[in-house]
Amino acid sequence: MEKMKWIDNHVPKSDDRYLSLMSHENISNTREFHKSFPQYWVTPLANLKGMAEYLGIAGLFVKDESFRFNLNSFKALGGTFAIANYIAEKMGKDITEMTYDYLTSEKFRKEFGQATFITATDGNHGRGVAWAANRLGQKCIVHMPRGSSHMRYDNIAREGARVTIEDANYDECVRIAAKEAETIENSVVVQDTAWEGYTKIPNWIMQGYATMALEASDQFREVAMNRPTHIFVQAGVGSMASAVVAYFANVYKEDPPTFVVMEPTEAACMFKSATIADGEPHSCTGDMHSIMAGLCCGEPNLVSWDILKNHASAFISCPEWVTAKGMRMLATPVKGDPVVISGESGAVGMGVVASILKDESYKDLREHIGLDRFSQVLLFSTEGNTDRDQFRRIVWDGEYPSI
């Protein structure tokens, strides 16, 4: 069985100029925007007391994003906030004026009209952008890479978007989307991948994602916890991971949690960048096939990499069995614990934490990050069951065994 690979963070640090994007003040304003949506409510923080006892740690908490906007994923947090900011900027208004009621009003339709929001996705991001555009009376085009799930395709199409599956990988689909936006009047790319000259919209998306981190922080306090000691975050281009890391690093400046970044082996661009350790982001190439479809991104978000290299303690490259193990553990918990239905891109943290604590071959990693009986661990299950057939093969039939 292929083992997880890990590396400690010895990358040269930068001036950390992007950290303030995820300040508590900024993200509090972001959440106020999300709260204007009638579909908004705070997603659960599952307290897995029995699992924590089984693993030998003090606490284990999982933010369950399968309930977000009834979309089975956290991604709409980013798409909605980016679209609203883009519209506000176009109209010369402040984001605080961009409430759901205004954006869905006849007055807004007359004042702004319609734009076309174009994106590339492995599933969840595209659905979130399509959902936002649909709710706000806007147009949407979504490009998906080869091998994309037809269930995820159908979910996006049902939101009224024009959807294609391209003979290309995810990063090539991003370039297709960017090129198409140049040919369509009043259109824009809504992508959480930042590159030279394209950072404003990805930064808005990251701020949108951070609503999830703010909620989790509040929920910790509600159960009489000061803060998590360890946060494990999965990374594709790194936008969600860096949003979570930057928010908690801002809130707990004097005593931040230990941050660990996880990626699929086939698309471990952050792990590769940390291994080369010259301070620059480095890409992975090829099809990057993985059941963790939402994490199969080969080119790091430049802003995200800057945040993660400054604050992460370790980077882990994860084979398929890791997230499959996590999916099964969350779906069949210790008696008394809540069930968390977590998809392939959402459950990797559970598989990682269980492996680190129960497999002595990861003792060095366990000691490096200080994971022990006093640890309070926070995970983010970023998606639910978004591919029914694959979910059943893994959870019911035991595909990708860990032994």
Q: What is the pLDDT of residue 304?
A: 98
Check if 5-73+201-395 and 76-195 are the same fold.
yes
Q: Is residue 67 predicted with pLDDT exceeding 80? A: yes
Q: Name the residues annotated as catalytic.
A: 75, 122
Q: How confident is the model at residue 226 (pLDDT cuts 50, 70, 90)?
A: confident
pLDDT digits (tens, 9 = 90+) for 96-109: 999 999 999 999 99
Contact yes or no for 63/248 (Cβ under 8 A)? no
pLDDT digits (tens, 9 = 90+) for 365-403: 999 999 999 999 999 999 999 999 999 999 999 999 997
- The rounded distance, in Å, linking the Cα atoms of 8 and 353 is 16
Task: Classify the C-alpha dihedral 222-227-230-234 as positive or negative.
Answer: positive
3-state secondary structure 174-230: HHHHHHHHCCCCCEEECCCCCECCECHHHHHHHHHHHHHHHHHHHHHHHCCCCCCCE
Query: Can you tell me the distance from the alpha carbon of 113 to that of 73, in angstroms, rounded to the nearest whole number?
Result: 29
Domain 76-195 classification at class level: alpha beta
- Residue 1's pLDDT is 85
* Helix or strand holding residue 307 (H, E): helix 302-311
- In this prediction, residue 3 carries a pLDDT of 97
Domain chopping of the chain, boundaries: 5-73+201-395, 76-195
pLDDT of residue 224 exceeding 80, the answer is no
SS3 259: strand
175-186 pLDDT, tens digit each: 999 999 999 999
Q: What is the pLDDT of residues 13-55, one digit of tens each?
A: 999 999 999 999 999 999 999 999 999 999 999 999 999 999 9
- What percentage of residues in the chain have a pLDDT greater than 90? 94
pLDDT (0 to 100) of residue 355: 98
CATH number, domain 5-73+201-395: 3.40.50.1100
- Residue 129: CA atoms inside 13 Å, Cβ hemisphere, count? 32
Structure tokens at 395: 């959870």
Q: What pLDDT digit, counting tens, does each position of 263-312 carry?
A: 999 999 999 999 999 999 999 988 788 999 999 999 999 999 999 999 99
Model pLDDT, residue 195: 87
pLDDT reported for residue 118:
98
What is the C-alpha to C-alpha distance for residues 168 and 157, in angstroms, rounded to an integer?
19
- Retrieve residue 316's tokens: 């882990």
Would the pLDDT of 83 be above 80? yes
User: Is residue 131 predicted with pLDDT exceeding 80?
Assistant: yes
CA distances from 195 to 17, 175, 294, 379 (A): 16, 11, 19, 28
Q: What is the DSSP letter of 19?
A: G
Contact 263, 316 (CB under 8 A): yes
Q: Which amino acid is at 368?
A: H
**Residue 244 CB coordination number (10 Å):** 30
Give the integer Cα–Cα distance in Å for 364 and 38: 47
Residue 288: what pLDDT? 83
